[in-house]
Structure 1
Amino acid sequence: MIYRLLILSLAFASCAPKYAQEPGPKLAVVNIIDQNDMTETISTTDRLRQFEGTDFLSCQPYKKVMRIFQRDCEGNVLAYLTSYHPSGQPWQYVEVLNGRVNGTYLEWYPSGSLKVSATVIGGEADLTQAAEKTWIFDGLSQVWDEQGMKAADLPYSKGLLDGLCLYYHPNGNLWKKIPMCQGKREGDQEIFLECSALLSRSNFVGDQPCGPTQKFWPNDTLAADEFFENGKLIRGTYWDRCGKEISKVVNGNGKRILFGKESVSSVHSYINGVADGKVENYTKEGKLAYYYHQKNGVKHGDEVHVYPGTLSPKLLVTYRSGKLHGPSKTWYRNGQMESQKELSDNKKNGLLTAWYLDGSLMLIEEYNQDKLVKGEYYRRGEKLPVSEVLRGNGTATLFDSEGNFLRRVAYLNGAPD
């Protein structure tokens, strides 16, 4: 906000005659925020003169600097906004025209290597996450990793990805080619391994998969051969690394396999061409990690996480239309119940009970819309609580699974104080 006001304050500055102008824009205001968040605004000629020749894209003892120049004869007010890492290295730089970002945008890693080079043509003139969400990118945006290797080439048109997006592996080889049209995938998409071997290719129309899609194992043999129509999976065949068929989708019904680089990543149930039902997710070693159920594109039903290498449950949560709703349970590795609680629309609501590893009671809590109403906390093996919370006020005494003291938490009006 302060930068916007500073720019507007120059809106009525008059143009000097051409014969009286100095070459280039003349500095009018400098606003500085130091690393302690202290702000200083400088506008006097003598003070401004000290910044002549200063390279603001070099290491500086500031957090953020806004340089505003006098209004030119065309009525425009130019400004440069620069932020710095705690080390003093430049972090971000953006050009501002008439109170809106417009021009070059640059971003650096703390090491000083360039991260992003782009052009913006509109948006809030500040270097905050909230402001950056309003920015409109245009033209080619380039991204590098911290070692200076190209990470991506992203063509924009008035805020939307438009053209062939290219992503690169850290070794410099091409990773992804994704054709975009006004923010939607349109055309043949290809993904490659670090060694440049083709991993997958697919076609999109209006951001929906359409036509053949193929996935390959590193030895160039087929892992998946699918066909989509208007975003729906019509048929698919899936093979393991030895060429053995492991699953099939026929007329939109069956189990679709998604692969990682070396193994099965997940198994999805399909009904009438749409993902519906159970989804199983696997580790890189091919072991079941967790499974859940989905309906209409969101989680619906139980999600169960298991202990690695076993089918023993570790965590169970219940979803209703994408929100946590219903019982939630956890277990120790030996199968003993660890905790149980009720959730309603992503909030704790009702009783929460927890037990020690030996099965003795650890705590009982009662919640109302995520607010703690009542709680009783027990040392292992004891029948009387060591502390309580009543009507949202009190102290929760917490122990680990073996009964070792962890900490005390004071509650006020149902929330940690």
Structure 2
Amino acid sequence: MNRPIQLMVLAAALSAGCESVPKASINELETRGGLVYLTGDTQPYTGMHTQPLNINGGKIVTGYKNGRFHGNMEEWFNTRQRFSKSEWDNGELLNGTTWRPDGTLGGRVINGNGSMIRFSPEGLQIRETHYRNGVQVPGALGTPAPSSSSPPVKDAAGLYVHHQSGKPFHGQFDYIKEGCRYKGRISDGQRDGLFRVWYTGGAPLMEADYSKGKINGRFVEWYPNGERMVDAIFQRGRMVRATSWKLGGKVASKLPKGTGTLVLFYPNGDPRRESVYEQGVKVTRRVQ
């Protein structure tokens, strides 16, 4: 099998009678022209892909054939709790089910028609995606944005405080600023839990897991077209690993052990900044 050494063969097939297929890590795949490739390969990727979501064992396991979703896809909150299962055929959704954290039904697609509704581990609805004949229906995704809300502001000490009282903010926030929607939770002036931002049209811009003001888990940013810009794992504020991509899917930077230069971009693809990390700690930052 002429594959890079990073590829591994599954020890067992997903079901009896299935042939073993390659398995690639999150850092080995990239998107080109709407198809997924193994980095450096010229042929669209066929095989399994496991993408970690957090330090609690959360993950997305996806099958690909010729660069498109094919076979089974499963998404997990943690090592025990699955929140999504779907079946694909050459990029089209056949059947799928999502669940809330309490195990109750979230959404369902049958014979290519229906809605897949995804929830955060806290039970908040993240987005609802509609499908017709196996194809995603065009339009804005996500829950309806609020009309207005007073956002918390940062004080000189770096804490988020109430706009009027100046006291540390504590609770949920959900507001619109410069057309983008911001939603999350702050505990005693510090971000805590899942923090999310959406573009003006409703597409996701950023998601990050926080604990006591520090990123603790997965951090992701997307381009407006849905391509990932950066995907990283942090542990108590220290970067464990990260990969960033140029607009179009080409890998721009890779920090497999939290050391190196992370390159980020604006939504239009122009360079934004470069940050140098050493053993997970940011040491310098240069704005473009």
* TM-score band, normalised by shorter chain: 0.3 to 0.5
| Higher RCO (CA 8 Å, separation ≥ 6 residues) | 2
Alignment TM-score, normalising by the size of structure 1: 0.28
Structure with larger Rg:
1
Q: TM-score, normalised by structure 2?
A: 0.39
